[in-house]
Amino acid sequence: MTELNGTVSAPFEPVRNAVLDQLQSGAEVGLSLAVDMDGEKVVDLWGGHRDAAHTQPWQRDTITNVWSITKTVTSLAALLLVDAGDLDVHAPVARYWPEFAANGKQDIEVRHLLSHTSGVSGLDHPARLEDLYDVREAAARMASQAPWWRPGSASGYHVLNYGHLVGELVHRLTGLSLRDFVRRHIIEPLGADFRIGLDEADLGRVAGVIPPALDFDPSALDHDTVAYKTFTGPSFRASAANSPAWRAADLGAASGHGNA
């Protein structure tokens, strides 16, 4: 039997009912949901299972890969440096990362990295997912590339490399990896249960990602488009999030793990 645990304040009882319906219908396998209103936690729910076979219950401290929500935390790390006066969003990236000026990127500003308008939305071919796990080397490759469109003229989602670009700025300014900066300056002060890159101690409480029946296939895209270059620079499948390498990686675009 599917269980739903936790509490809701009286006006939010319909939320509990809706969540329980999602679990019992099979629309959701497992989940956690929290809603904070003006400092009061009005919804704090968790339930279902953390595996597709429905053998492991979803616990209060279960965490799962949160994909691009990781980008929010990565951008917050950069904004802490902005707030401290160490990082200027209107300055050229090359002020902090001189190698980034290569191949016509000398005028790309920090704000372009933060807003997905830099023109560097992936790795030039050849590119494998494994290439991204060495974040310093991958960032160096991105620094050497030419942009795929005129920087600042358009937005192009930086699917997997957002954390490499923003994280390299964090590293250049603080000497810390992105994951260590986030832990020291965001997670620990807040007491938040969030990680970019998991430690061994966390692996036993991770809910695996259940891939969609049909994964997106970028090969159908026009090979001359930025979209094709982005989604094959490198290509990946949702199941990659269940690999030990992904879970341990400092991918500030997509490998964050947390709960509600």
pLDDT tens column, 15-27: 999 999 999 999 9
At 242 the pLDDT is 97
Cα 137–chain centre separation: 19
Q: Which helix (H) or strand (E) holds 33?
A: strand 30-37
82 and 125 together in one domain: yes
**How would you write 143-159 as a 3-class SS string?**
HHCCCCCCCCCCCCCCC
At 215 the pLDDT is 82
Q: Is 179 a member of any domain?
A: yes
For the chain, the maximum distance between any two Cα atoms, rounded to a whole number of angstroms, is 60
Quick one: angle between helices 162-174 and 69-83, nearest 10?
30
The three-point CA angle 184-63-76 to 5° equals 40
At 216 the pLDDT is 87
How much of the chain exceeds pLDDT 90, in percent? 96
35 and 149 together in one domain: no
Bond from prior residue into 92 cis (ω within 30 degrees of 0): no
Q: Decide if pLDDT at 124 tops 90.
A: yes
Q: Is 141 a member of any domain?
A: yes
Catalytic (active site) residue 68: yes
132 and 225 together in one domain: yes
pLDDT tens column, 144-178: 999 999 999 999 999 999 999 999 999 999 999 99
Q: Decide if pLDDT at 70 tops 80.
A: yes
How much of the chain exceeds pLDDT 70, in percent? 100
Q: Tell me the two tokens of residue 38.
A: 């003006």
Which one of the listed residues 9, 68, 115, 239 is annotated catalytic?
A: 68
pTM of the model: 0.95
108 and 190 together in one domain: yes
79 and 140 together in one domain: yes
* Residue range of the domain that includes 44: 4-60
On average, the pLDDT of the chain sits at: 97
The number of distinct structural domains making up the chain is 2
At 206 the pLDDT is 98
Domain boundary among 38, 60, 82: 60
What's the mean pLDDT in 90-104?
A: 98
75 and 187 together in one domain: yes
* Confidence bin at 1 (pLDDT 50/70/90): low
Q: Is 110 a member of any domain?
A: yes
116 and 133 together in one domain: yes
List, in order, residues 6 or more apart from 35 with CB less than 8 Å away.
12, 15, 41, 42, 43
Q: Tell me the two tokens of residue 245.
A: 């390498």
Q: Decide if pLDDT at 37 tops 70.
A: yes
Domain boundary among 60, 81, 101: 60
